[in-house]
Structure 1
Amino acid sequence: MQDTIELNNISHHFNTSEERIELFHDLSHTIRAGETLAIVGPSGAGKSSLLSIAAGLETPASGSVRFIIDGDTVDALALRARSGFIFQQFHLMPELDAIGNLALPLRLKGNRNAFDIAANWLGKVGLKDRARHRPHQLSGGEQQRIAVARAFVSSPRFIFADEPTGNLDARTSESVSNLMFDCAAETGCALVIVTHSKRLALKAQNSLHLEAGRLEAAA
């Protein structure tokens, strides 16, 4: 059975001191392994919350989410263990160099080949010569390349990216977005991206538009 994430009639909201803000209602969608999917829509529509729910980081206010890996239904913790994450902020460890940042997820899982695998990924993202540079010695684009490689280094089934090019200039954004899609194609994992960039969204096989609490296939 194909690895999938099934969103079934999910609704979500958050509360302020004055009111409840309803984000979306009764959304259903299935994310499949190998798919590239962009989630687009206006600010405040709930795109990041939808991504967090799909990634098992949040629980919807109502409805259900089913995670299927290798034919078995698993919990959110098991899904997260097989997922990679890319954010607008790079979230690199400042005290570690580039190869150390890349090796860290593997080392935490007890992988004895962590640094060899990290070195291989540094080469794939074109930063082999930056292995011993710390984040403050790297450009924004280089830091995001490290962040992209870190997301893929553990051979995940799903990659979740929230505005991954939001802090980058147009030229660097194009380079980083191409890198993400190339890595997804090479590894066969699903890539789910929240983005304001129409150019980035068009790279995805499928695109969903979230607005006014509804989710529709983008034209």
Structure 2
Amino acid sequence: MTEQTCIELQAVSHSFECGAEKIHLFDDVSLKLHRDCVTSIVGSSGAGKSSLLSLAAGLESPTSGDVIFTKEGVSVTPEEYRKHIGFIFQQFHLLPEMDALSNLALPLRLKGVSQADEKAADWLANIGLQDRAHHKPSQLSGGEQQRIAIARAFISEPDYIFADEPTGNLDVRTGAMISDLMLDCAQETGCGLIIVTHSRVLAEKATHCFELVNRGLEVLS
């Protein structure tokens, strides 16, 4: 029976050329990403974590192997699937000229969603920043900016969200708060959350935890 919505990596390998040298990141990696689950991937710098994330998000094609995207039981193209995913990055990527409310409402406005500002205001309240609605990013702390970036990723109700080192720029205490916020949002919305991180503490909070090591993927939990 075909799963209704999932992303499946089948024996994917990935490499790139650096001058005359060919760099192999990983070989024959197979992984199934389920909606309603949190998946974390850890590994040393240069192991290929971000590249694996890009493959799973349909932003890159593997050197070999297949990435299969299934939406409501139907196989779809990476281009189609990208309409149903969101991203959280180490850098917050908020537009500096817009206030918090407008940054949060922007994805909805671009999709022509009615009452975008009202929905953005609800999300600001959910993350405890309703009193910062009209502050621009330069007037917000790093933790506050990342909370808005997280809400922005979830506000469009995607099937999956891909988080690349979401706590990398934050101190330990703020990082722990941000981690809990992401996990709470994923649970409340039923969104699949895939996290690439150096933080073992964050990684171990996931439903499934993997490590990229020796050019392969090992199950940690």
Could you tell me which residue of structure 2 aligns to residue 205 of structure 1? 207
> TM-score, with normalisation over the residues of structure 1?
0.98
Aligned to 2:169: 167
| Correspondent of 2:89 among 87, 107, 122 | 87
Q: Which runs of 4+ in 1 moved over 6 A?
A: none
DSSP-derived class of the 1:119 partner: helix
Distance 2:177 2:56 in 1: 26
* Cα distance between partner residues in 2 of 1:213 and 1:131: 45
SS of the aligned residue for 1:51 comes to helix
Instruction: Report the counterpart of residue 141 of structure 1 in structure 2.
Output: 143
1:60-209 to 2 correspondences below 5 Å: 60-209=62-211
Q: Is the 8 A contact 2:163 2:193 kept in 1?
A: yes
Q: SS of the counterpart of 2:44?
A: coil
Q: For residues 113 and 61 of structure 1, what CA distance do their matches in structure 2 show? A: 43
Could you give the per-residue CA deviations for residues 35-71 of structure 1, whole angstroms, max 9, x where no partner exists? Answer: 1010011111100000010011111111111101111
Contact 2:40 2:197 in 1 (8 A): yes
Contact 1:99 1:122 in 2 (8 A): yes
Deviation of 1:93 after TM superposition, in Å, equals 0.6
Contact 2:210–2:219 (Cα < 8 Å) also in 1:
yes
Q: Is the 8 A contact 2:7 2:70 kept in 1?
A: yes
Whole-angstrom distance in 2 between the partners of 1:58 and 1:126 = 36
Structure 2: where are the runs of 5+ without partners? Answer: none
User: What do the CA deviations read for 1:88-143 (whole angstroms, capped 9, x no partner)?
Assistant: 00000111110101111011111112111111111111100100011000000000
Distance (Å, rounded) in 1 between the aligned partners of 2:60 and 2:123:
30
**RMSD of aligned residue pairs (Cα, Å):** 0.8
Matched to 1:157, the amino acid is D
- Which residue in the other structure is 1:47 paired with? 49
Q: CA deviation at 1:2?
A: 2.9
Partner of 1:27: 29
> Partner letter of residue 186 of structure 2?
A
SS in 2 for 1:44: coil
Inter-partner Cα distance in structure 2 for 1:106 and 1:27:
35
Distance in 2 of aligned mates of 1:60 and 1:85: 20
Q: Which runs of 5+ in 1 are unaligned?
A: none
How many residues align structurally?
A: 219
**Which TM-score applies when normalising by structure 2?**
0.97
Q: Is the 8 A contact 1:161 1:191 kept in 2?
A: yes
Once residues 2 and 73 of structure 1 are traced to their aligned partners in structure 2, the CA distance between those partners, rounded to angstroms, is 10
CA drift at 1:148: 0.2
Distance in 2 (alpha carbons) for counterparts of 1:139 and 1:201 = 24
Identity within the alignment, %: 58
What is the CA–CA distance in structure 1 between the aligned matches of 2:144 and 2:180, rounded to whole Å? 14
- AA aligned to 2:37 is E
Task: Kindly indicate whether the alpha-carbon contact (under 8 Å) linking 1:2 and 1:32 is maintained by their aligned counterparts in 2.
Answer: no
1:12 to 14, 19, 23: 14
